[in-house]
Amino acid sequence: MTVFHFLNCAFLTFGPHVVYYSATPLSEYDTIGTSVKAAAVYLGTALVKLVCLATFLKVPENDSFDPYQELMKVFIGFIDVAGLYFALTQLTHRNISQNHKFQAVGLGWAFADSVLHRLAPLWIGARGLEFTWEYIFQGIEANANLVMTLSLAALGSLMWLRKNKPRTLVPIIYACALLLATMPSITSYLRRSLEWQTPKVVGFELFSSLVMAFISWQLFSACQRPM
Residue-level pLDDT at 126? 64
131 pLDDT tier (thresholds 50, 70, 90): low
Of the listed ranges 18-27, 51-60, 96-105, 113-122, the least confidently predicted one is: 51-60
Residue-level pLDDT at 84? 95
Of the listed ranges 6-20, 50-64, 153-167, 202-216, the least confidently predicted one is: 50-64
Of the listed ranges 41-45, 68-72, 80-84, 137-141, the least confidently predicted one is: 68-72
Closest CA relative to residue 167, chosen from 223, 220, 225: 223
Residue-level pLDDT at 127? 65
Q: What is the mean pLDDT of the chain?
A: 89
Global confidence as pTM: 0.93
Strand, helix or coil at 179?
helix
Q: Residues 53-68: pLDDT tens digits?
A: 888 887 666 666 677 8
